[in-house]
Every structure is written in C-alpha cells, then in structure tokens.
Structure 1
Amino acid sequence: MKQSEELAATPLTPAQAFDALYGFCAPALVRQTYLLTGRRELARESVERAFQLVWQRWPEVAVDRDPAGWARVMAYEYALSPWHRFRPRHHGPETPVPDPADRALMAVLLKLPPSQRRTLLLYDGVGLDLPETAAETEASTPATAYRLMNARSVIAARLPDLADPSDLHERLVSLASTQGLRAAQPPAVRAGSERRARLWTRAAIAFTVALIGTTALTLRTAPTHYEPPVPPGAEVQGVPGRVGQGALSEEEVELREKLRKSMVSGPERLVPVGR
C-alpha cells in the first residue's frame, strides 16, 4: 500500500503527462473530427497536427485549465481550414458509411455550414453547455444559440426521427463510434512534433542568414555620398544657322593662285611675304 502511494505521488515527466492526455483525448477527438469533415484521413491528420502543437507548447498547455479543450480547438480549426480544398489527397471519394441511416445523417451534417456543424457537434455531440460552446467557437451566446437552432431544424426537417436532441446525441455518438478510427501512437506524435520544430528552426536560420547577406550586399554596393541628378538637356537658342560658302573675292582668288605657285615645302612656306 505504501509503495503504491509513493508511485502515485511520483510526478510525471512531460512526455508521460503528454502521453496520458493524448491517450485520454485523441481517440474520441478523431471520431469527432470525422463527423466535422466526413473524411477519415483528414480527421486523423487534424488530431495529430493538433497534438504536435500541444507538445511544442507543452509548458503552456500543461497549466491550462482545460488541456483537452485546447487540443480540440486546434484540431477543429485545422480540420475546417479552407486550404484543404486545394490538396489533391482530400479530393478523392470517401468510403461511405455502411448503415443507410448513418449515411443519411452524415450527408445532412456535411451540408450544414461549418459554423453550424461545429456548434451542433460541440453541444449535442461533445456535451458542452451553451456558454462553453460559444467560447470555443469565439461567438456570442445568442449567435451560438441561433446556429444551434438552425442546425437542429435542418436535421429535424430531413430526418424527423432525430428531432429530439437526446436521440440526436445518441446517433452522433453511435455514428462516430462505428467507424473504427484509430489515432497515431503518442511517441510518433511527439517525434513528428520535434521534427517539425527542427525544420521550422532551420528555415528560420536560413531566412535570417539570407536576410543578413542581402543587407551586407546592399550596404557594400550602395553609394556613399549624394550625387545630384543630371538635369535634362536644354535647347540652346540664338545660334546662327549654317550657310553655304559663296564666291571668292578678287583678293582671295589672287591669294589662292599665289599659294599654288609657291613651293610645297621649305622655309618659303613658313615666312610671310609682304605685299
């Protein structure tokens, strides 16, 4: 008895505490996320990515008043991200639910707007009360109640046997439980989280080095003093236009003949001759 009390009093390591939280929350969260998306692979991926964030921020999550709710918010946000529509792996046909009644319920759920689907799942599926549902969906309590009533009315109109909220809750739990969805093992999730953190760290270091190199190159090639811009050229006014050469005068003709008769080279060419 004393030995068991000592073991119970032994504090858990961060990895053991994370594994305990994951083992308690992940299986049910995968089933809930499947009802939210209608895709098994996306549900598993969403839960795994959410708990990778939990492990990265474990000091913060460990002291949170609701660690399970923290992980659920991350999983739902990832599952409902609009970017998944651009991923080819999530465009293929999904294996339908075997039971026709469950298949009809699933079809109605997936036709609801994401906000109403999430509100209905939290309130009638998970069992949160209205203020908790409003806080988790980041909406006011009246808006949350409006979404819930609209979702229930759509389901009651198409599936009258589920008009009672208690019957709807049981069917949602049953539909999620019959899919045989399994979550990944906790060590694999922790290893994936650490690997992703290392990749982001390396990417941040590479970006920082590139930024420093770009800054150094800019400082080296940038001018060190101010050079005023060269003003644009202006047209010079008042310059006389070119004119053709006219006829030689008598004096110019006489001088030309005299130069032609003189020697081509010699001092006579260098000494002026007076007239």
Structure 2
Amino acid sequence: MTRNVEGLPAPHERRSLREAAELTLDEVAAAMGVSAATVRHWESGRTNPRGRKHAAYARFLEGLTALPAAADADAAGPPGRTDPAAPAQPAEPAEPVLVAVAPGAGAGAEGGPTAPDGAAVATDTADTPVDDTGDTGGGAAGAVARPAVCPLLGPADAFDTLYDRAAPALALQSYLLSGRRALALEAVDRAFTRAWDQWPEVATDPDPEGWVRAIAYEHALSPWHRFRRAHRRPDRPPADPADRILLDALLALSPVHRRTVLLYDGVGLDLPDTAAETEATTLAAGNRILHAHAELAARIPELADVPVEKQSAALRERLVALRPPYALTPRPAAAVRGGGERRGRQWTRATLGLTAVITAATAYTVATAPTRYDPPPAPGESVTGVPPLSGPQQLTERSRQLQDKLRTDPQAGPARITPKIE
C-alpha cells in the first residue's frame, strides 16, 4: 500500500477502505469524533487530520485493512485442513481491532447500540461470532464485523477517563494562553466542574474534549482576571531562554490569535475544526494563523529562518517541548467531581434559605399591612387673586399676661369710655 507524506494511505485508498468495510461517512465521523464533512475532506485529500486525530485515523484505517485479512483467514479454516467435509475446529481468537468511538455517539445507519450515559466504547472484532463460511453475524454486511459495545461502569468512570486523558494537556494549553500556573489549573478545574454538572450534555456531545477545552480557554482568556489581586504579579518565567522567548511571544499576541494558533499548531486541529471552535469562518481562521505566524517569526529567532510552509510544524515542536517552571498537576478527578457536587449542594441550600427568608418577609408584610387606605390631608395652597385667610395671631406668654392685666384693671370695660356729665 502506498503511503503519503502524512503517514496515511492515499486519499482514494482511504475511501476504498471505508467502502470495502461498508461504512458510511456518518459512522466514520462518529468513530473519530468529527463531522461527516471533515471525513469527506480527508478522503478527497482536501485536508488531512492533525495531532491526535491523525494518529487515531491511522489506527482506524489499519483496523479496516486488517478486517478483510482476518475474514479470509477465518474462511480458509485452520492451517493444514483441506477436507471441507471434515468438522470445523474452533478457530483461534483473532487479535481484537480497537476503534475508539466518541462518547455519546448514536447509532449509525445500521442502528447499532450506544453506550449509556455517554460512556466511551470500543469495538472488538474478536467477540463477534463467526460462522463456518467466514461471515460474521451481520447478514448482507457480514464481510465486516460490527462493533461490540463495551460500556464503562457508569458516568463517574466515563468522566474520570475523560479527565485523565485530557486534563494534563489542557493544563499546559491553559498555561500557554495565560502564562500563569494558578490560572491554568483553575481553568481546568472550572471546565471539568462544569462538565460534571452538565454531564448528560457533555456525554452526548460528539467531541467532549472540545467541549471542555472551550470552557477552559474562555476562562483562561477572560479579561477580568487583570483586576484580581492574585494575578497582578507575573509568574516566574521558564528557565530555558528558548522557552521564555516562545512564551513571551505567545503572550504578546492578541487573545484571539493566541487561541487560534494554539488550536491549529498546539492541539493539531485542522483548519475547519479550528474555525468552528473559534466561531469564525475558515478564511478568517486562516488569516489569523498567517498573521500569528508572521508575528511569532518576528519575535522568535528559530522561526525566522524556517520556510513559511514549515513554520507550523516547527512551531508545534516548540510548543510540545516547552517546559513550564512549575509542575502543572491537576487535582484528582474524584476531587473535581466532589467539589462540583459540594458546590451544587451549597448553592441549593443557599437558594432554599433565600427562598425561606423571602417567604417569611412576605408573610410578615401581609400580616402587618393596613387593610384600608387613608389618604393624607392635602397641604394648603395659595390661590392667585384670593387673599390669604387672616386672623388673630397666637398670643405669646408676654401678650397673655398683658391681656390679663388689662382685663383686671378697675377702669376696664365700657364704662371707661362712657362720658360723664359734670
């Protein structure tokens, strides 16, 4: 089989292997955790998988290549037996071909089973019954062994598997985005805590790692961290001068360019997946990568002499080889799950307590509120053209004493002014 520069079969051979296995684009996409359009691009040679998707797709195609050979060996029977009338001997169990299936991936066109609670599953062709003719129990599609689903024990085990596989790499990526150890570990903890709180949604997502990665990136790149006292002082830079230059160059990029170049060169996503995760068009994501590479080449001497078409590979090697000055060790998965559950209980208790306080205040208000409305008296107002009401002023104590004195005077009264005839 011819191999191309990516270490994969030629694009037309990829499609031939899939069609020979009688698999649809949706089934391959569900197994790889990508969209059917991405698989179509891989088979047409328009794009090629990168990073972990490249290794997983290579193993997937090798498994498809081994299936016809295993079927032929089973049909031929054990070595040394030429008499077709002789009773068939039990064949040796073939080596299982494991194909990772995305958590929560539904049944394909054939209506296959799915794992409960979004648990990771694996296909094992050795557990599929084989009859005397070499066909597996699949009817017309018996040339290819249908996957046997092996679910994990429960949601907690599926979450722990996802956490153990993705948390260490996600901690390094968050450190490259923020340049701070505490913030990177906090971003990982926050992302997986939310994933456990919304585990049914995460379990049925085609790309659980992408779901968690988006939450961690958003937290690590939040501009509100600059107002936190704990993040005002920068962390100690890496000991290696090359790593220090690379980290400073990454932090000098804008947040959107930093995130795009890390997804494309660090994580190894292809351009359509990078554009989808950054919520941009493919053209916009490509322009961001070009501008980011130009800025990094101007700041990093090692990339200045590298041709443009090889800058992505060189940058990926530098990002993988970067060693932070601190140990980026996330908390155990059980602690993250327990912390999320404890925080959920605290929020529930706080909500119930606040509801009880509001209910008590409402009941007290209803009990003490007046049952009728007494309008307050309107204040007096002056009317234009009408003189104000006049009258005697209020007497002071001095005026009252004088008035009493005048009333008690013997000369007081009307007789005082009556004329006398002398």
Q: TM-score normalised by the shorter chain: which range applies?
A: 0.7 to 0.9
Partner of residue 55 from structure 1, selected from 193, 196, 199: 196
Question: With structure 2 as the length reference, what TM-score do the two structures score?
Answer: 0.53
Instruction: Determine if contact 1:35/1:176 at 8 Å carries over to the other structure.
Output: no
Instruction: Determine if contact 2:236/2:325 at 8 Å carries over to the other structure.
Output: no
Unaligned ranges ≥5, structure 2: 1-92, 94-125, 128-148, 305-310, 394-402, 404-412
Task: Name the structure 1 match of 2:104.
Answer: none
Task: Name the structure 1 match of 2:248.
Answer: 107
Q: Partners in 1 of 2:358 and 2:269 — Cα distance?
A: 48
Partner of residue 233 from structure 1, selected from 369, 373, 380: 380
More moved, 91-100 vs 229-238: 229-238
**Do structure 1's residue 215 and structure 2's residue 362 form an aligned pair?**
yes
Instruction: Determine if contact 2:152/2:158 at 8 Å carries over to the other structure.
Output: no
Alignment of 1:1-275 (within 5 A): 9=150, 11-163=152-304, 164-175=311-322, 180-235=327-382, 237=387, 239=389, 252-253=414-415
Q: Partners in 1 of 2:180 and 2:388 — Cα distance?
A: 86
* Superposed displacement of residue 254, structure 1: 6.8
Instruction: Determine if contact 1:33/1:79 at 8 Å carries over to the other structure.
Output: yes
Tell which structure's C-alpha radius of gyration is larger: 1
Q: Partners in 1 of 2:180 and 2:356 — Cα distance?
A: 41
1 or 2, which has the higher helix percentage?
1
Change (3 A) 1:138 1:218: farther
AA partner of residue 241 (structure 2): P
Q: Deviations over 1:105-126 (max 9, x none)?
A: 1111111111111111111111
Instruction: Determine if contact 2:180/2:234 at 8 Å carries over to the other structure.
Output: no
Q: Partners in 2 of 1:83 and 1:219 — Cα distance?
A: 43
* Superposed displacement of residue 141, structure 1: 3.1
Q: Supply the RMSD in Å over aligned alpha carbons.
A: 3.4
Change (3 A) 1:117 1:10: closer
Q: Partners in 1 of 2:325 and 2:416 — Cα distance?
A: 127
Change (3 A) 1:21 1:241: closer
Higher relative contact order (CA 8 A, sep 6+): 1
AA partner of residue 20 (structure 1): T
Instruction: Determine if contact 1:116/1:148 at 8 Å carries over to the other structure.
Output: yes
Instruction: Determine if contact 1:97/1:103 at 8 Å carries over to the other structure.
Output: yes
* Count, aligned residues: 254
Q: Partners in 2 of 1:84 and 1:172 — Cα distance?
A: 24
Unaligned ranges ≥5, structure 1: 246-250, 257-275
Instruction: Determine if contact 1:134/1:141 at 8 Å carries over to the other structure.
Output: yes
Q: Partners in 1 of 2:287 and 2:166 — Cα distance?
A: 29
Q: Partners in 1 of 2:282 and 2:372 — Cα distance?
A: 63
AA partner of residue 252 (structure 1): P
State the SS of the aligned residue for 1:138.
Answer: coil
Q: Deviations over 1:127-182 (max 9, x none)?
A: 11222222222233333233222211111112242251110111111115886422
Q: Partners in 1 of 2:330 and 2:392 — Cα distance?
A: 95
Q: Partners in 2 of 1:254 and 1:84 — Cα distance?
A: 97
Change (3 A) 1:240 1:72: closer
* Superposed displacement of residue 255, structure 1: 10
More moved, 10-19 vs 46-55: 10-19
